[in-house]
Structure 1
Amino acid sequence: MNSSSPARDSDLFAEFMGDVTPMAKPDTVSYFQRSSQPTLAQQEKRRAAEQAIQFDDNLLASEHVELLDPHDFLTFKKSGVQEGVYKNLRLGKYDVDATLDLHGQTLVQARKTMYETITDCHERNIRVLLIRHGIGEKSQPHKGLLKSYVNHWLQQLDCVLAFHSALKCHGGLGSTYALLKKSAQKKLENRELHAKR
Structure 2
Amino acid sequence: MNNSDKDFELFRESVGSVRRVRSDRVQSRPPAPRAQPRQRQQDERAVMDDLASAPIDFSAVETGEEISYLRPGLQKRVLTRLRRGHWRVQDQIDLHQMNLEAAGRTIREFLAHAEREGFSCVKIIHGKGLRSGPDGPQIKRLAARLLSRHSRVAAFASAPPHDGGTGAVHVLLSTRR
Query: Structure 1 residue 102 and structure 2 residue 95: aligned?
Result: yes
Structure 2 counterpart SS, 1:131: strand
The answer as to 2:57 corresponding to 1:72 is no
Matches of 1:113 and 1:175, distance apart in 2: 15
Decide whether the 8 Å contact of 1:130 with 1:178 is kept in 2: yes
Figure out how many residues of one structure are paired with residues of the other and give that number: 115
Unaligned 5+ segments in structure 2 are 1-62
% identical equivalent positions: 28
Q: Hey, what does 1:183 align to over in structure 2?
A: 176
Give the CA deviation at 1:123: 2.1
Contact 2:95-2:103 within 8 A present in 1 as well: yes
CA distance in 1, matches of 2:164, 2:113: 23
List alignment gaps of at least 5 residues for structure 1: 1-69, 185-197
Q: Which letter does structure 1 place at the counterpart of 2:125?
A: R
- How far apart, in 1, do the equivalents of 2:98 and 2:64 lie? 20
> What TM-score do you get using the length of structure 2 for normalisation?
0.61
Asked whether the equivalents of residues 69 and 155 of structure 2 are also in contact (C-alpha less than 8 Å), the reply is yes
Quick check: 1:173 aligned with 2:166?
Answer: yes
Note if 1:113 corresponds to 2:106: yes
Residue 71 (structure 1) shift: 5.9
Question: Which has more radius of gyration?
Answer: 2
In the alignment, which residue of structure 2 is the partner of 1:36?
Answer: none
Structure 2 partner of 1:191: none
Distance 2:74 2:116 in 1: 20
Choose which of 112, 116, 123 in structure 2 pairs with 1:123: 116
Give me the whole-angstrom Cα distance separating, in 1, the residues matched to 2:77 and 2:68.
Answer: 15
Counterpart of 1:110 in 2: which secondary structure? helix
- In structure 1, C-alpha distance between the alignment counterparts of 2:139 and 2:170, rounded to whole Å: 15
Q: Segments of 4+ in structure 1 off by > 4 A?
A: none
- TM-score, normalised relative to structure 1: 0.55
SS in 1 for 2:154: strand
Please say if residues 70 and 76 of structure 2, whose CA atoms lie closer than 8 Å, have aligned partners that are also in contact: no
Shift of 1:86: 2.2
Q: Which residue of 2 aligns with 1:93?
A: 86
